Structure 1
Amino acid sequence: MKPRPAAGAARRGETILVTGTGIDLTLLEPLERQGYTVRRLPSMPDEDKLIREMQGAVAYLHGGEERATASALEEAQETLRVVAFLGVGYENFVDVAAADRLDIAVTSTPGAATDAVAAFTVAQIINANWRIPQYLGNHFPGWQGPKELPRELAARTIGIVGLGAIGTRIAEILRRGFDVPVAYYNRTRKEALERELKISFLPLHELAEHSDILVVMVPETEKTRSMIDAGVITRMRPGTVLVNTARPAVVDPMALYDGMVEGRVGLAVFDGFYGPDSRAAARLLAEFGQQLLVTGHIASHTRETMDRMVRQAVRSIENVLTYGSDEHEVGSRPRPRFRYPEEKIRHAER
Structure 2
Amino acid sequence: MSQVYIAAELPTITTEILKAHQLDYKVYAGEGLISHQELMAQVEDAKYLITALSTQVDKEIIDHAPNLKLIANFGAGFNNIDTSYAKEKGIVVTNTPIVSTNPVAEVTIGLILALSHRMVEGDAQMRKDGFPGWAPLYFLGHEIAGKTLGIVGLGNIGQEVARKAAALSMKVQYWQPHQKSDPEERSLGVKYVTFDELIETSDFISINAPQTSANYHQFNQNVFQQMKATAALVNVGRGPIVDEAALRDALKNKDIAGAALDVYEHEPAVTPGLQDMKNVILTPHIGNATVEARDAMGKIVADNIGLINDGKKAKYVVNQ
Q: TM-score, normalised by structure 2?
A: 0.90
Mean alpha-carbon deviation: is it higher for 115-124 or for 320-329?
Answer: 320-329
* CA offset digits 1:6-32 (Å, max 9, x no partner): xxxxxxx542011234x2224322322
In the TM superposition, what are the counterparts of 1:1-350 in structure 2 within 5 Å? 14-21=2-9, 23-42=10-29, 43-63=32-52, 65-76=54-65, 78-91=66-79, 93-136=80-123, 137=126, 138-140=130-132, 145=137, 149-175=140-166, 177-190=167-180, 191-275=182-266, 281-285=271-275, 288-323=276-311, 325-332=313-320
* CA offset digits 1:287-336 (Å, max 9, x no partner): x532221111111010010010111111111122222532311003xxxx
Q: Which runs of 5+ in 1 are unaligned?
A: 1-12, 333-350
In the TM superposition, what is the alpha-carbon distance from 1:141 to its structure 2 partner? 6.8
Partners of 1:145 and 1:303 in 2: how far apart? Answer: 40
Partners of 1:321 and 1:111 in 2: how far apart? Answer: 24
Q: TM-score, normalised by structure 1?
A: 0.83
Describe the shift of the 1:145–1:31 C-alpha distance in structure 2 as closer, same or farther (beyond 3 A).
closer
Describe the shift of the 1:119–1:205 C-alpha distance in structure 2 as closer, same or farther (beyond 3 A).
same
Partners of 1:277 and 1:30 in 2: how far apart? Answer: 31
In the TM superposition, what is the alpha-carbon distance from 1:262 to its structure 2 partner? 2.6
1:335 match: none
In the TM superposition, what is the alpha-carbon distance from 1:276 to its structure 2 partner? 7.7
* CA offset digits 1:217-241 (Å, max 9, x no partner): 1112222221212232221010311
In the TM superposition, what is the alpha-carbon distance from 1:86 to its structure 2 partner? 1.5
SS state at 1:281 partner:
coil
Partners of 1:314 and 1:276 in 2: how far apart? Answer: 27
CA RMSD of aligned residues (A): 2.1
* CA offset digits 1:266-305 (Å, max 9, x no partner): 2111113343897x911433xx532221111111010010
Cα pair 1:83 1:107 within 8 Å, conserved: yes
1:339 match: none
Larger radius of gyration: 1
* CA offset digits 1:26-55 (Å, max 9, x no partner): 432232233321111134212111100111
Partners of 1:198 and 1:294 in 2: how far apart? Answer: 30
State the AA in 2 paired with 1:237. Answer: K
Q: Which runs of 5+ in 2 are unaligned?
A: none
Identity of aligned residues (%): 23
Cα pair 2:8 2:34 within 8 Å, conserved: no
